[in-house]
Amino acid sequence: MTALVLSAARRPVDLMILLDWRGRLSAAFLLAMILAGLAAPLIAPYSPTDQDLVNMLMPATVDHPLGTDDLGRDVLSRLIYGTGASLYASFLAVAVATVIGVPIGLAAGFFGGWLDDIISRVIDALLSFPGIVLAIGVTGALGIGLTNAMVAVGIVFSPMVARLARARTLIVRSELYIDAARCFGSSSYHVLRRHVLPNILQPLLVQMTLLLAAALLAEASLSFLGLGVQAPAPSWGAMLARGYTYMEIAPEQMYPPGFAILLTALAFNVLGESLRVVLDPALKAR
Partner 1 sequence: MSGAALRTSAWRGLQVIPVVIIATLVVFLLLQLVPGDPAITLAGENATPEQIEQIRALYNLDQPLLVQYGQWLLNAMQGDLARSLMSGEDVTRLILQNLPPTLLIVTCAMAISLAIGIPLGVMSAIHRGGVLDTIATALASVGIALPNFWLGMILINFLALQNNIFPATGAGSLLQDPLNALWYAFLPALSLAAGGVAEIVRQLRSALLEVLDSQHVRTLHAKGLSPARIVWQHAMKNVSTTLLTVTGLLFNRLLGATVVIEAIFAIPGIGSLIVRSAIAKDFPIVQGVVFTMVLLVILGNLIIDVLYPIFDPRVER
Query: Could you give the CA distance from residue 149 to residue 261 in angstroms, rounded to a whole number?
Result: 18
Point out which residues pair with 68 in neighbouring strands: 74
Q: In angstroms, give the least distance from the CB of 253 to partner 1.
A: 10
Of 221-240, which residues contact partner 1 (CB under 8 A)? 221, 224-227, 240
Q: In angstroms, give the least distance from the CB of 222 to partner 1.
A: 9
Among 18, 25, 56, 122, binds partner 1 (CB under 8 A): 122
DSSP H or E run through 50? none
Spatial neighbors of 175 by CB under 8 A, at least 6 apart, are 199
Phi, psi of 250 (to 5 degrees): -140, 70
Q: Does the protein bind partner 1 through residue 105 (CB under 8 A)?
A: no
Point out which residues pair with 74 in neighbouring strands: 68
CB atoms within 10 A of CB 218: 26
Q: Does the protein bind partner 1 through residue 129 (CB under 8 A)?
A: yes
With respect to partner 1, which residue has the nearer C-beta, 57 or 134? 134
Q: In angstroms, give the least distance from the CB of 202 to partner 1.
A: 20
Q: At what angle do helices 255-279 and 236-245 cross, to 10 degrees?
A: 150
With respect to partner 1, which residue has the nearer C-beta, 24 or 182? 24
Between the alpha carbon of residue 285 and those of residues 38, 159, 277, 278, the distances in Å are: 39, 30, 9, 12
Q: Does the protein bind partner 1 through residue 256 (CB under 8 A)?
A: no
Q: Which stretch binds partner 1 (CB under 8 A): 33-41, 89-97, 167-175, 268-276?
A: 268-276
With respect to partner 1, which residue has the nearer C-beta, 113 or 130? 130
Q: Which stretch binds partner 1 (CB under 8 A): 43-51, 93-101, 200-208, 246-254?
A: 246-254
CB-CB contact of 6 with 250 (8 Å): no
Q: Which residues bind partner 1 (CB under 8 A)?
A: 121-122, 124-126, 128-134, 136-144, 213, 217, 220-221, 224-227, 240, 243-244, 247-248, 251, 254, 258, 261-263, 265-266, 268-270, 286
